[in-house]
Amino acid sequence: MNNQDLLQVANEYGAPVYVYDAEKIISQYERLTTAFGKVKHLKINYAVKALSNISVLKLLNKLGSGLDTVSLQEVQLGLRAGFSPGDIIFTPNGVSLEEIEEVSALGVQINIDNLSILEQFGAKHPNVPVCIRINPHVMAGGNTNISVGHIDSKFGISIHQIPHLLRIVENTKMHINGIHMHTGSDILDIEVFLYASEILFDTAKQFENLDFIDFGSGFKVPYKEGDIETNIEELGKKLSKRFNEFCKEYGKDLSLAFEPGKFLVSEAGCFLAKVNVVKQTTSTVFAGVDSGFNHLIRPMLYGAHHDIVNISNPGGRDRFYSVVGYICETDTFANNRRIAEINEGDVLCFKNAGAYCFTMASNYNSRFRPAEVLWYNGQSHLIRKRETFEDLVRNQVEVDLNTVKQQTTQLEEENIAVK
């Protein structure tokens, strides 16, 4: 997609709007499968939480991807998009035994990350294959806000609890068919990731009937020009070699699984917002757009960087702006950012808006969530309508307070009469 394509989308569907480039998703998927091309059985399970639109899921299904899900609802979205239950893994955290059982009944692969639920599920369903999520106590991610491999993480079963885990498996006679880990997002140090993988291999040796080992994901993508990213090709070469060696030691060709989300869709996404006002204060020039952290919360929540381009005036003279939203509290996308000169009515493009952007959107300040568009084969396709006021109030139940008051008064009078 180029700037003219994006402006066409903004003109046709209005702003704010999310746009996803299908070709970028496809190329990222192919890049990953090529990097691990020497592994006999490779399984890519797209992390639905990154971007859960059904049309995007259908695209990934067409590519041969499976799904990594974290809720019953994500499982249901996957089934609606055409995925078979056997191509979906359910990796929740802190959910009830009842939800896990409901997903299991659909035929989906279960991945359990705590001893309590593992023991309860194993005692009731010993014949259902279960994957176990291990916490290797290795932080391969670069951002502490999104690292989940540290010792006090709520995710996974500690490697120090392996003896207890083995005791549960022995007592329940349950079938463990997979071992899983996820150390966090924005992985840069491949050697640290490989070190965590050795811990996973050591754990896998203690289970005789595995079908797969899941190495999670968290691969870093570039957020700005010149930014560093995970070297997928180097990781593919080194981990594939070690994985193939392990399979020979284990005596069985296992599947190597990953669960990329951001890596597949982040760079494919753009968020377009229109400039409402350019406001000069004593020391700052604000560009206020028709959006806010209700649509794109990552800069406020994580301190995430999104490149911002003025696609209405890309050749304009660069000036410094603080780009802010219309939410009625501190609502900042970027501070003192160098951007081509902005005028009211211009359309700004926020890059890397494919992952954890729309899926984290809300109706705060009673604002509507935006539309979503898929750019596929050189054309735009609306894949989610912009919300309306009717969407906003659809599930609200309006109570007639006058009627309630009359009913209460009548009930009180009846009680007095009885007494």
What mean pLDDT do residues 63-88 have? 98
The verdict on 220 and 103 lying in the same domain is yes
Instruction: Say how far apart CA 164 and CA 114 lie, in whole Å.
Output: 11
3-state secondary structure 247-286: HHHHCCCCEEEECCCHHHHCCCEEEEEEEEEEEECCCCEE
Q: What's the pLDDT score for residue 218?
A: 85
| pLDDT tens track for 338-363 | 999 999 999 999 999 999 999 999 99
Instruction: Say how far apart CA 53 and CA 47 lie, in whole Å.
Output: 12
| pLDDT tens track for 316-332 | 999 999 999 999 999 99
CATH number for the domain harbouring residue 256: 3.20.20.10
Rama region for 340: left / alpha / beta (φ>0; ψ in -120 to 50; rest): beta
Predicted structure pTM score: 0.92
The verdict on 362 and 255 lying in the same domain is no
Q: Which residues pair with 270 in a beta bridge?
A: 19
Among residues 107, 128, 103, 108, the alpha carbon closest in space to that of 118 is found at 128
Integer Rg of the chain from CA: 25
The verdict on 90 and 227 lying in the same domain is yes
Phi first, then psi, for residue 118 (nearest 5°) are -60, -45
Is 247 catalytic? The answer is: no
CATH number for the domain harbouring residue 309: 2.40.37.10
Between the alpha carbon of residue 174 and those of residues 80, 120, 126, 209, the distances in Å are 30, 11, 4, 11
Poorest-pLDDT segment among 156-160, 385-389, 407-411: 407-411
CB within 8 Å of 312: residues ≥ 6 apart = 7, 343, 345, 346, 347
Q: Which residues of 121-156 are buried (b: 16+ CB within 10 A; e: fewer)?
A: bbeebeebbbbbbbbbbbbbbbeeeebbbeeebebb
Q: What's the pLDDT score for residue 217?
A: 86
Q: At which residue do the structure tokens 């981990």 appear?
A: 239
Catalytic pick from 131, 247, 328, 349?
A: 328
Instruction: Note whether 176 and 169 are within 8 A (CB).
Output: yes
Residue 144: which domain range?
Answer: 36-260
Q: What's the pLDDT score for residue 1?
A: 87
What is the count of structural domains for the chain? 2
The verdict on 110 and 215 lying in the same domain is yes
Instruction: Say how far apart CA 378 and CA 372 lie, in whole Å.
Output: 16
The verdict on 218 and 291 lying in the same domain is no
* Helix ranges restricted to H, 81-210: 97-104, 115-124, 162-172, 190-204
